[in-house]
Every structure is written in C-alpha cells, then in structure tokens.
Amino acid sequence: MNVEQIFQSLQKGKISPSKAKKLLSLYSIEKIGNIAQIDTGRKNRKGIPEIIFAERKQLLDLKKIIKKTLSKNNE
C-alpha cells in the first residue's frame, strides 16, 4: 500500500488512525547497503532520534551510517 492508498483508506474508514500511523512509519526506514537500516522518522514519532548500534560494525560502515543518520535528521 502506497502513501496515497493509506490516506484514502483512512479517509474512507477502512483503516484506523493507529493503523495508518503504523503503515506510514514503514516509509521512514532507510536501508544503507547491506550494513544497516535506519529509522529516519523515529525522532518525530518517539521524541528521540535513531540509536546506532555500533558493536561489531566496521569503522567505515559506521561512518556511512552516522553520515546518513545526521543528514536525514538535519543535524
């Protein structure tokens, strides 16, 4: 279901606001190659930005993750 379909389903009462919120939150997940997935909308939903789990990550991979996370959060 794309964003427009989610809004239409919500407007028609086919899905609840909480279901729409959950579906829309899936669009805030961004994959960074095969190394990580970041939740770019977490700060808006939870009040705190994405947390980066760095254990077992290579330094270059960690730099990519941090750079992408900061750019998406306008930091």
As for how many domains the chain has, the answer is: 1
Q: Cα 22–40–31 angle (5° rounding)?
A: 95
User: What's the confidence (pLDDT) of residue 41?
Assistant: 81
Average pLDDT over residues 52-74: 89
User: What's the confidence (pLDDT) of residue 35?
Assistant: 92
| Residue 63 pLDDT level (bands cut at 50, 70, 90) | very high
Give the range of the structural domain holding residue 54, as residue numbers without chain letter. 3-72
Q: What is the pTM of this model?
A: 0.62
Q: Cα 46–27–74 angle (5° rounding)?
A: 60
Q: Cα 2–46–75 angle (5° rounding)?
A: 90
